[in-house]
Amino acid sequence: MDIKSLVSQMTLEEKAGLCSGDDFWHTKAVERLGIPRSMVSDGPHGLRKQDDKADHLGINDSIKAVCFPTACATAASFDPELIRAIGEAIGDSCQHERVSVVLGPAVNIKRSPLCGRNFEYFSEDPVLAGRMATAMIRGVQSRNVGTSIKHFALNSQEHRRMSSSSDADERTIREIYFPAFEMAVKEARPWTVMCSYNKVNGVFASENAWLLTDVLRKEWGFDGYTVSDWGAVSDRPAGVAAGLDLEMPASGGANDRKIVEAVRAGKLDEKLVDQACGRILEIVYRYLENAKPDTPWDMEAQHAQAAEAAAECMVLLKNDGDILPLSKEDRIAFIGEFAEKPRFQGGGSSHINCFRITGALEAAGSRGLQVEYARGYSVEKDEASETDIAAAAEAARHAKAAVVFAGLPDSYESEGYDRTHMRLPDCQRRVIEAVAAANPNTIVVLHNGAPVEMPWIGRVKAVVEAYLGGQAVGEAAVRVLFGDVNPCGHLPETFPLRLEDNPSFLFYGGEGNVTEYREGVFVGYRYYDKKRMEVLFPFGHGLSYTKFEYSGLKLSADRIRDTEELTATVTVKNTGNRAGKAVVQLYVGDVESTPIRPVRELKDFAKVLLQPGESREVSFTLGKRAFAYWNRQIHDWHVETGVFTVEAGGSSRDLPLRAEVTVESTTELPHRYTADSIIMDIMADPKAAPVLREYMQEAAGMFGNGGQDSGSDAAKEAISDEMNLAMMNYMPLRGAASLGGGSAEEVEKLVEMLNEA
């Protein structure tokens, strides 16, 4: 299709019209020119296609579909191939249903355990989030269906999500909140990007030219269309000017008129409207020209895929005395309503109308296992009666082991609002404690989208974090509990001991409409590690029914320039007696650095299947970005010359291997000295330091103790040479005039010489 010519035939009104939706889920048609409507639909953990009763809050029904594990769970798999395959399945469903774009994945950073939408997000770590998003986009788009990576950007809370401004400094944005988008845009080329509701540093994302044009298109090369989150538009003409192509859903024509008026009044360049239309039509036709509505949608097969995937996502957090796996011969008690009706997805726009749901009780029953069930608590009433608790304890007492299915009910965790605390419902805590008192072999399976506090952790033998594992989560839980699957998930986030430990605790939610991201780059483990804090479970943690041993970390060089790549090789061995998957994690840290940096940051990982006794070498390639921080002076990535650690192992707090490499910067930071520049900074600059040193020797008086005889005994007693030197470090050049008796002219001359150097 010749899009340019198509746009040139459109009237201004038709073009303005195309810049917003026809209804909740369609772009507009222009019948005169044969341009059809095009459908987009929510997901992204399955397809949420609505027919007539449209809404974006998951209230009205959508067509029957399959709910795969949600993002919080798939991230725990640390397996991009797994989410890619899910993406392919969702792409097939979209083709079958004539949906051109699925609205996801969502890659916002899990800044606080409280965010109501954490279950839709991958991780507290940008590399993990980016890798998962990239793989998912590749999967969906391999089926010629678009994705809409969202919500760009800094949408890490639901509280006041449509009015609040997320205020963060440039370095924090670049190092923490952008990289997942950046990686996905550069490597997987999503067809569309959805902007967030919130403002970023005071400007709505939907009219933020820096986000939508400068960074997204000019820096990262995005070439699809940008779409507003549903209802995120405030000033539509400003949005068009900033690079927001499509407003969703419809504005009832009001904003179309505003665009027309702005163009007629000379306030908005018509070329920008043409550009938006061109970008929208490119995608409409990219889908259309390869639409395959005869693609089969095999829900049974997808249900089986969802079960397999969910099992790969489960994280074995604790397993004292190898209580797990359970024996199929033993009598086991299943306790808690979630055993019957699991919580496997979250509320809001991602809510899937599942064609089937498999709970753990049903899955155990279909295998003929000896499982006795006690409800324990009621999810709907959010209460546990004394009778229910007594029955649960009784069931536990007669069993070899008791499994409590616990977690957050829908009302605790949903799109649209945040949690107010990090606890499980009190009724569930009481059930866990009563069961643990009745049977020492108590196991807890958790269904939640983000960390919860576990005051009972010392009283139970094992904990399995199932996250929100999709519609087949019960099947997966039974496979893991009884050892058909060896758990291999790892935490994509830190579980702090208590909410107050979380770095965003003091500022999360903000004041009125301003939320300052004051913890900066110290999100998640970056903070807990720097503060050497005890945590409940660290980032990257996950046990297995077998054991892995890491050895032989080798670096391809002990010194590189920042334009060169470094290869790190690690050997991982399965030393246990059953097959299992290890997640090898690689972290980099800057040993000594001028910018204040985390101790270590995840740079790469690999999931490896190993038979008993088998070992494998895994290689990682580290480029400049692995060592760089965002430099605010040059507004670019910069590596500070020095020694870096490369650590490898099975979690952020289990890194038995460590090596060092010196990385040399090839970028010289610009120096501009003034009379306010301090001696220490000049001395750190290899070009300016000799000039200053020489000058200081010649004009010693100007830099001495105000002209006093520093060699006298009295002076030495008052201040040692070292102290004198240390204090001199912080002296500005102008001090040579005001304290050292030099003249302002001399200082000026010195500044000039330094700048010339």
**Residues that are catalytic:** 229
| End-to-end Cα spacing for the chain | 58
Q: How far is the CB of 369 from ligand BGC (least distance, A)?
A: 39
235 burial type by CB count under 10 A (0-12 exposed, 13-18 middle, 19+ buried): middle
- Residue matched to tokens 């997640």: 583
Between CA 745 and CA 180 the distance in angstroms is: 52
- Residue nearer to ligand BGC on the CB measure, 229 or 590: 229
273 by DSSP, 3-state: which? helix
- Residue nearer to ligand BGC on the CB measure, 42 or 388: 42
Q: How far is the CB of 231 from ligand BGC (least distance, A)?
A: 7
- Residue nearer to ligand BGC on the CB measure, 416 or 642: 416
CA angle 211, 181, 632 (to 5 degrees): 60
Between CA 748 and CA 728 the distance in angstroms is: 19
- Residue nearer to ligand BGC on the CB measure, 319 or 345: 345
Exposed e or buried b for every residue in 568-579, given b needs 16+ CB within 10 A? bebbbbbebeee
- Residue nearer to ligand BGC on the CB measure, 229 or 562: 229
- Residue nearer to ligand BGC on the CB measure, 16 or 103: 103
Query: What's the number of CA atoms in the CB half-sphere (13 Å) around residue 59?
Result: 7
Q: Residue 181: which residues within 8 A CB-CB, separation 6 or more? A: 107, 130, 133, 149, 152, 153, 193, 216, 220
- Residue nearer to ligand BGC on the CB measure, 349 or 441: 349
Q: Taking the alpha carbons of 82, 88, 94, 96 in that order, is the dihedral positive or negative?
A: negative
Q: How far is the CB of 106 from ligand BGC (least distance, A)?
A: 6
Between CA 455 and CA 688 the distance in angstroms is: 57
Q: How far is the CB of 120 from ligand BGC (least distance, A)?
A: 7
Q: How far is the CB of 42 from ligand BGC (least distance, A)?
A: 5
Between CA 600 and CA 454 the distance in angstroms is: 27
DSSP conformational letter for 411: G
Dmax (CA) for the chain in angstroms is 97
List the one residue out of 214, 208, 210 whose CA is nearest residue 228.
208
Would you tell me how many other CB atoms lie within 10 Å of the CB of residue 667? 17
Q: How far is the CB of 58 from ligand BGC (least distance, A)?
A: 8
List the one residue out of 201, 198, 10, 224 whose CA is nearest residue 117.
198
Minimal CB distance to ligand BGC: which residue? 56
Q: How far is the CB of 67 from ligand BGC (least distance, A)?
A: 16
- Residue nearer to ligand BGC on the CB measure, 53 or 381: 53
Q: How far is the CB of 147 from ligand BGC (least distance, A)?
A: 11
Q: How far is the CB of 419 from ligand BGC (least distance, A)?
A: 17
Q: What is the 3-state secondary structure (H, E, C) of 335-378?
A: ECHHHCCCCCCCECCCCCEECCCCCHHHHHHHCCCCEEEECCCE
Ramachandran class of 11: left when φ > 0, alpha when ψ lies in -120 to 50, beta otherwise: beta
Structure tokens at 696: 């200081």
444 by DSSP, 3-state: which? strand
- Residue nearer to ligand BGC on the CB measure, 84 or 150: 150
Residues lying near ligand BGC in the complex (CB under 6 A) are found at 42, 56, 103, 150, 229-230, 349
- Residue matched to tokens 């001199």: 728
